[in-house]
Structure 1
Amino acid sequence: MIKFLTNNRHVIEKILIVILVTLFTVFFIFALFNQPLHNNELQALAVNHLDKTGVTNRVTAVLLNYRAYDTFIEFAVFLCVAIAVLPYILDTPILTFKLQEESQVLLIAKVFIPLTIIMAGYLLWIGSSKPGGAFQASALLAGCLVLLSLANVQVIDFTKLRYRLFMSSGLIAFLAVAALLYLQSMSFLTFPVELAGAIILVIEFFATFAIALILFLCFESINKGHA
């Protein structure tokens, strides 16, 4: 029996995986079709109190006001990813590249990066009232850094302390806001109505640069063969 299990270990593992996935799928479908119908009470409640969030975009209101605690944890997860990836980048010697003016990638970078930065700023600003915000803006900025990296232009040196602080700035801003609000109202992440819009904008501003650098850090890790 033991010899049979040893010789057919890979087949048995595949069968067990198929069985587990099948059971999970059946359970998920069963749970999905047996959920009680709801009357969108939470949606109506969120919409009716939107004027107290400091923004008019429902998504931004949910992420940074109604469920600010979840977004706070997300920033912490981003920072944990950076901490996990950073040692691999620091172990790699920093290369000095010589720019080639005829590089097509560099030409594309020169044309599109200024426009992309403007678009990122616009998305950050408009996020309070329309689709946009820190995550979209940071994705554009990270794309600019990736494009520069592909053009052999080194703009970020992760061995410098200031860039690590930038990657932590989103979480630091959130912690600072939470601490100040707690000292004022003795409640965690409860934004005053008159300051909610400004607080959300400050958090999103720092989060934009933090997330952009962390996304670029992950790209550099893959680009250097460490992922």
Structure 2
Amino acid sequence: MNFSDIEIERYARHLVLAEIGGPGQQALARARVLIVGLGGVGGPAALYLAAAGVGALTVIDDDTVALSNLQRQIVFDTADVGRAKVEAGTERLEALNPGVAIRALAERLTAATATGMIAGHDLVLDGSDDFSTRFAVNAACVATGVPLVSGALGRWSGQVAVFEGRPCYRCLVPDIPPEAESCARAGVVGALAGVIGAMAALEAIKRITGAGTPLSGRLMLYEGLAGTARTVALPADPACPVCAGG
């Protein structure tokens, strides 16, 4: 794969990085990434993956832009209120990098459709905000063997992990927590979405290019109020309903 002069200039800061260079940038250009949810986590992640030169991005979201989204969902502008998120988001991503092929799906990923949606992709980045969608994405990724980057946030804290086979997301969250709260109910500081979205995009870039050590089998926990972060190992649950073989 040969880069044009424009691409060499666009990706110059990647090309001089020893851990990415030409081979890594070529891997990004070949990559097909599915982003589930174009909101607080998925929006910033999509911007950075498009900017990085990921060859093909599929974005899935069945929601429309609300004014309350704009406090943290920076892929949208005030003029986008009322529009489908994938429609407005696609315009922004194509304007940022016309060389990236964007496929927009204005629908909700479900347990019945997840496997078909994920098929043909090299990596999935899940920025959805409900556990039923997260469970469906995880089960389909385990079934298809597609790596999953998962990001989530609430109030002042967030988390990012990479799942490849075992352990899987259901090892971390076996059932929907009874105390689970939405951002609408619990609140969330806007800048936190950018932090977690960027972290998720970084893990996707590392996984695609082979740079560094991805968070595979590990969970990074970020606490915004204290300004601290820690990474913990994720053990595989021998009774996991998804990845334990049962």
Query: Does TM, scored on the shorter chain, surpass 0.5?
Result: no
Identify which of structures 1 and 2 has the higher relative contact order when contacts are C-alpha pairs closer than 8 Å and 6+ apart.
Answer: 1
User: Per residue, is there more helix in 1 or in 2?
Assistant: 1
User: Which structure is larger by alpha-carbon Rg, 1 or 2?
Assistant: 1
User: Per residue, is there more strand in 1 or in 2?
Assistant: 2
